Structures are given as structure tokens and as C-alpha cells.
Structure 1
Amino acid sequence: MTRGRVLDGIGTLARLGLAAVWLASGLIKALDPAQTYVAVRAYDVLPREAVGVVAGVLPWFELALGVLLLLGIGTRAVAWLSAGLLLVFVAGVTQAWARGLNIDCGCFGGGGAVAPGQTQYVQEILRDTGFLLLAAWLIVRPRTLFAVENRLAGSLVTSGSGAERN
């Protein structure tokens, strides 16, 4: 097995892992929009009108990221979007912690105010940092196995268009 093939395999695991994260978190939020609203509002950083927009769009954005990663379409671009969103999440959790808010992040359902001592800010930041590492891998090396974009790039090369595979 070649080094490139091993790296492709690692990238595939990163792509599918990050896809699973976005699909799970997006689906949970989409199935309970009222709780998603409560979770977004608990961070106390957005005006009420913006909370509704973010709570309404976020689940579908996460699902779109998950589907694109699952299929392997635009992997590098989707990894950049994922990294950006994860950095926003880390910043949100960090500011909530710094301000002494007692909230559950709502990342995978739930969210909102919790009793003092029930926050898990360190675990949430570490988890999101792990997801950020998956996105970083895909930014640096987006080539993965079983990706639709590989087939598309391959068909461009074989059609004589001069396009190269990534």
C-alpha cells in the first residue's frame, strides 16, 4: 500500500467523521427548532431577530455541510466552511464561559440554561477542537477515497480538457 493511499484513507475517515458530526447535529436541531432557538438565545450575543434567523438556518447549513462531505463534493471548500463554523462555536462557548453563563452548548440537541456546575465548557471546546483538526486535515489534503469530486476530476482528465486531479 502506497503512502498516498494511506493518506487518502486517513482523509476519508476525516471526511466521513466530519460529515457524521454535521449530519447528526443538523438533524437533531432541525427536528426540534424550538429548542434550537432556546440554545442559540442562551448565548446572549445576538438580537432576538437574529436569534430566529440563526436558529432557523443553522440546522440546514450543518446538514448541507454533512451531505457535501458525505458525498465528497467540494471537500476543501466545505472543510474551510466547517472550520469557520467550528471557530464560531468555540468563540461562542468561550465567551459564555468567560461571562459566567451557565448554559449547555446545544451542539447536539438540548441547550439553554443549566444549573451552576453543570456546564461542560472544557469538554465542548476540546470536542470542537478535535472536529477542527478533521477540517484542517481536509483543508491541507482534501484528496479522499470514494469522493464524487474524484470521479468528476477523473472524467475531466479523460475527456481531454486538460484539467488535473487534485
Structure 2
Amino acid sequence: MSSTTVLRSANEAPEARGGIDLVLDIASAAARFGLAFMWIYSGYTKLGAHLDVTKSIEAYEIFTPYWSDLLARVIGPLEIAGGLLLLLGIKLRWAGGVSIAVLAAFIVGLYSAYSRGLTIDCGCFNPGGSGDAQPGELLRAIVRDFGLIAVTAFMMWRPFRKYALYP
């Protein structure tokens, strides 16, 4: 097979490459843009809710009040920044790696609270929510975050580079 044939097949439209490639492209696009939306939405809910975010972080009983306050100030903007990197397609694999690291840190915090029997609202998408957390909520959040890690790993393995500024 000549190099021209290899280049041509790599640059062909997804329909010409086969159905499985089209499915993987669609799944990768859904992963990238879905994760971007999730991070942007999560960060947006934390903007302007500094006190609620601080209380959510303090409820985990891991950080001192100073560190809880500091994290509450930076977590929302950082989540938005990560979502924008994915949305705009800037360093997709690097952004995915950071996303996995953050999700892993969230899992550690959630598991710490769960293992100590704390019944708290995780504060992930609704800081200062109802306050009436169900006992299994932390476990569901852990499972959800493992699912998000799997989606992120897929997106890193096969990044959707179309519409990406700097993949």
C-alpha cells in the first residue's frame, strides 16, 4: 500500500471510511461537548454562591475553613475554564487528563465523606441545595464520577478534533 493510499483513506469523509468510524466520531463529539457542558454548567452554578460553596466544602470535614474558602473561590472559575478548553478544542488530551485528575480528587473526597457516614449534599451541580441529602447520594455521585472518567478516557483515546482550535 502506498503512502498516498494511506493519506487518502485517513482524510476521507467519515461515510467513506465506514460505519464504525462514523459512530465513533459521533460518540467522541458527544463526549467532548457533553463534558464541556457539564464542566461549564457545574462552574456556573458556583459563581455568585461563594458562601454556599464554602459550606458544601466544609461539610466534607476535610479542609480547614481557610482552605474551604479558598477552594470555594477558585473551583467555579476553574471548572468553567476546563469546560471552555473542551468546547473550543484546545489541547483536548491534556484537558481530558486534567478532567480525570479533578474527577479522581472529587471521588476521593466523596468516598471519604461516604466512608465516615456523612449524609451531605455533594454540592456538585447545586451548591447549597436542599440540604436534605439522601444516604446513597454520595455513592451515586461516586459512580457518576467513575462514569465521567470513562467518558473522558474515551474522549482522550479518540478526540473529536473537528471544530477544535488547537487539538
TM-score by length of 1: 0.82
CA distance in 2, matches of 1:145, 1:9: 11
Identity, % of aligned pairs? Answer: 33
1:17 alignment partner in structure 2? 34
Residues 62-71 or 123-132, more deviating: 123-132
The C-alpha deviation readout for 1:43-72, integer Å capped at 9, x for no partner, is 110122111111111001100001111111
**1:109 correspondence with 2:126:** yes
The answer for unaligned runs of 5 or more in structure 2 is 1-14
Match of 1:55 in 2: 72
Q: CA deviation at 1:112?
A: 7.8
- CA shift at 1:32, angstroms? 1.1
- The number of residues matched between the two structures is 150
**Contact 1:83/1:132 (<8 A) preserved:** yes
Hey, what does 1:158 align to over in structure 2?
none
Highest Rg: 1 or 2? 2
Q: How does 1:51-130 map onto structure 2 within 5 Å? A: 51-111=68-128, 114-115=131-132, 117-130=134-147
Residue aligned with 1:127, SS: helix
1:39 aligns with 2:61: no
When the two chains are superposed, the root-mean-square deviation of aligned CA atoms in Å is 2.0
Secondary structure of 1:148 counterpart: coil
Q: Do the aligned partners of residues 26 and 117 (structure 1) sit closer, same or farther apart at CA in structure 2, a change above 3 Å counting?
A: closer
> Structure 2 vs 1, CA of residues 116 and 61 (structure 1 numbering), >3 Å: closer, same or farther?
closer
* In structure 2, C-alpha distance between the alignment counterparts of 1:45 and 1:143, rounded to whole Å: 37
